[in-house]
Amino acid sequence: MIFPGPRRTGKTSILIHLRDTYEEPGRAVLINAEKYSTASELVQGIAKEVLTPDVAKRTKKTIKSGASKIKGLKIGLFGIDFQQAAQENWENAADSLLQGLIETPEPVLIMIDEFSVFVNKLSKKEPDETEKLLRWFREWRQRLVDTRIRFLLTGSIGIDTVLRRLNLGDTINDCRPVEMFPPAEQDAHNFLLQRASENNIPLTDSLATEMLQLINPHWYYPMQLFLVEIQTWVRANEATPDASALQTIYREQLVGKGNELLKHMWDKLSDIFDPADGRFARHLLRALAKVAKGLSRQEMENLHIQEFPPGGTEESADFEYVLNVLVHDGYLIKDAYGDKKTRFASNLLRDYWEHQNA
């Protein structure tokens, strides 16, 4: 499965919960791919989490056989020194690990966090190695399909976005996406009131409702940030905030200062687009930030023509690709009914974008 979603929406917290509560005798392991920069390092990271003494004991002969293919490889604690094996030849080391997993009777869930970020980073340095890794990883999953081993991949950059750019979409067509959604409005409302009560923050029903309208959609992270800013305001002013104060806190603190999620969305355009597509993406987002109700397809196509006039000598942006990526990666949404306009997916993100472009 693929578990995409922007940063600070709770993906890693869910993975940690799965790891800590996975039903025995099975186990779930968590690998943070973002800290690795090569295929060899990723294989070592996976091996570190999944290779237990029990697995090594069951597959000792096979692993040693794999080790014999790698020049100068030493036999270590688990029958093979995986660190050295991966450094010498990560494919052979990974095949040895695969065999150990195939013969594992208990369920194992291998969760690789920020897999798409790792792939994106690797592709910019070593595109051929990236393709080799992705095709190997797909073969791995296919060979494990009749076992009790499963994979869960996450990414704050859409993996589809990265692989479309590399023309490698077929390397994950066996994975099923599972989308994350913010809590229902009533649940979000109750969350705000409960957290405010726990932290002695004076918050009325009407103010909680207005908070949700301001940041909509109401992910937990911006809700908590908003509460922290209200608490700071209360301490500084020794007063209970009203609707006007709430607007000021929102504009000056949440939008004006930004946060990790907003800054990530601003910065990552350079990671997911080439120069021409990135230029049009910024042009389109700048225009959409000024129009709360969004733009029609024709209006967006006109913006594309403005930025890249027909017959020009410079390379043009791919309109469909840019639009699809911005929707997929959580910048924009397309209304399904009415005028079917495209607009920012978040009031908070739109207001931040408008502030940054001011």
Say yes or no to pLDDT of 71 above 50: no
According to the per-residue pLDDT averaged within each range, which of 8-17, 51-60, 110-119, 310-319 is highest? Answer: 110-119
Mean of all residue pLDDT scores within the chain:
86
Q: Which helix (H) or strand (E) holds 343?
A: strand 342-344
Measured distance CA(312)–CA(44) in Å, rounded: 49
Axis-axis angle for helices 205-215, 347-357 (nearest 10): 60
Q: Tell me which of 62-66, 93-97, 120-124, 211-215 is least confident.
A: 62-66
- What is the predicted pLDDT for the residue at 203? 94
Quick one: CATH architecture of 263-357? Orthogonal Bundle (1.10)
Interatomic CA distance for residues 5 and 157, integer angstroms: 7
Q: What is the pLDDT of residue 312?
A: 75
Distance CA 126, CA 38 (A): 9
Beta carbons within 10 angstroms of residue 152's beta carbon: 20
Strand partners, 155: 4
Min mean pLDDT across 61-75, 79-93, 109-123, 202-216 is at 61-75
**Every domain of the chain and the residues it spans:** 2-172, 185-255, 263-357
Q: How far apart are the first and last CA of the chain?
A: 40
pTM of the model: 0.76
Q: Are 233 and 241 in contact (CB under 8 A)?
A: yes
Query: Residue 30 corresponds to which tokens in the numbers above?
Result: 């968590």
How far from the centroid of its chain's Cα atoms is residue 24's Cα? 28
Span 198-215, pLDDT tens digits:
999 999 999 999 999 999
Count, residues in the chain: 358
C-beta atoms surrounding 258 within 10 Å? 17
User: How far is the C-alpha of 316 from the C-alpha of 92, rounded, in Å?
Assistant: 43
Show the tokens assigned to 236.
Answer: 């500084």
CATH 3.30.2310 at 2-172, yes or no: no
**Residue 63 in this model has a pLDDT that exceeds 70:** no
